[in-house]
Chains A and B, each alone.
Chain A
Amino acid sequence: MTCWNCGADRPARFCDACKALQPPVREYFAFFELEPKLVLDDKDLQTRFYALSRKLHPDLFSRKSPTENEYALEASSVLNDAYRTLRDPIARQLYVLKLEGFDIGEQSTKDVPPELLEEVFELNMALEEARMGDADALAQLPGFRARFEAMRAETDLAIAAVSAAWDATHEKQHLNDLRGHLNRRKYITNLIDKTNVPDRV
Chain B
Amino acid sequence: MFQIEFDNQPDLVVGIDLGTTNSLVAWMNLTKPEVIQGEDGDKLVPSIVSLTEAGELIVGNAARQELIDHPERSIYSVKRLMGRGVEDVREELKLFPFRIAEGSESVIRVALGDNTFTPPEISSFILRQLKKNAEAALNAQVTKAVITVPAYFNDAQRQATRDAGRLAGLEVLRLVNEPTAAALAYGLDKRKEGIVAVYDLGGGTFDISILKLQDGIFEVLATNGDTHLGGDDIDNRLMHIALEDIQSEWGESIAHSGEAIQTLRQDVIRAKEALSFAPVVNLDFAWNGKTYQRTITRELFDSLIQDIVDRTLGPCRDCMKDAGVTPEQIDEVVLVGGSTRIPLVRSAVEVLFRARPHTELNPDEVVALGAAVQAGILAGTVENQLLLDVTPLSLGIEMYGGVVSKIIHRNSTIPASASETFTTGVDRQTNVLIHVVQGERELAKDNRSLARFDLKGIDPMPAGFARIEVRFLIDANGILSVTARDARTGKEQTVEVKPSYGLTDEQVEAMIEASIDNAEADYQAAQLSGIRIEADGIMAATEKAMRHPAWLTLTDEERAHVTAAMNRLKLVYCVNDHHAIHAQVDTLNQATHKLAENMMNTAVLGALKGTSVDN
- The interface of chain A, by Cβ under 8 A from chain B, is 5-7, 18-20, 50, 53-54, 57-60, 62-65, 73, 76-78, 80-81, 83-84
Contacts and interface: CB of A to CB of B under 8 A. Distances in A.
A73 B477 CA distance: 11
A54 B214 CA distance: 13
B473 A73 contact: yes
A54 B174 CA distance: 17
B4 interface: yes
B417 A77 contact: yes
A54 B380 contact: no
A72 to B, nearest CB: 9
B415 interface: yes
A38 B217 CA distance: 28
Contacts of B475: 58, 73
B325 to A, nearest CB: 16
Nearest to B475: A73
B242 interface: no
A58 to B, nearest CB: 5
A62 B378 contact: yes
B412 interface: yes
Nearest to B382: A59
A57 B386 contact: yes
B413 A84 contact: yes
B473 A77 contact: yes
Contacts of B214: 50
Given A5-B3, A6-B1, A53 B386 contact: yes
B413 A18 contact: no
Contacts of B415: 58, 73, 76-77, 80
Contact of A20 (B3, B388, B414): B3
B7 interface: yes
A50 B217 contact: yes
A99 to B, nearest CB: 15
Contacts, number: 73
Contacts of A62: 173-174, 378-379
Contacts of A50: 214-215, 217
Contacts of A58: 415, 475-476
| Interface core residue of A7, A53, A83 (most chain B CB under 10 Å) | A53
Contacts of A64: 6
A113 B459 CA distance: 44
Given A6-B3, A63-B380, A76-B476, 4 more contacts: A5-B1, A53-B217, A65-B4, A73-B476
A83 B413 CA distance: 9
B434 interface: no
B464 to A, nearest CB: 15
A84 B4 CA distance: 34
B476 A18 contact: no
Main SS class of interface, A:
helix
Contacts of A53: 217, 386, 388
A19 B416 contact: no
A80 B173 CA distance: 21
B11 interface: yes
B578 to A, nearest CB: 40
B387 interface: yes
B84 to A, nearest CB: 28
Interface in B1-24: 1-4, 6-8, 11
Interface in B362-420: 374, 377-380, 386-388, 412-418
Nearest to B417: A77
Contacts of A77: 414-417, 473-474
Contacts of B3: 5-6, 18-20, 65
Contact of A80 (B174, B215, B374, B414): B414
Nearest to A78: B417
B170 to A, nearest CB: 15
Contacts of B386: 53-54, 57, 59-60
A80 to B, nearest CB: 4
A9 to B, nearest CB: 13
13 contacts: A53-B217, A57-B386, A58-B475, A62-B174, A63-B7, A63-B11, A63-B378, A63-B380, A77-B414, A77-B473, A80-B413, A80-B414, A84-B413
A80 B378 contact: no
A80 B413 CA distance: 6
Contact of A59 (B413, B416, B417, B476): B476
User: 9 shortest A-B CB distances, which residue pairs?
Assistant: A77-B415, A77-B417, A80-B413, A18-B3, A62-B378, A6-B1, A76-B415, A58-B476, A20-B3
A90 B246 CA distance: 63
Contacts of A57: 386, 388, 476
Given A18-B3, A50-B217, A73-B475, A59 B377 contact: yes
Contacts of A59: 174, 374, 377-378, 386-387, 476
A80 B416 contact: yes
A84 B1 contact: no
| Interface core residue of A50, A76, A77, A80 (most chain B CB under 10 Å) | A77
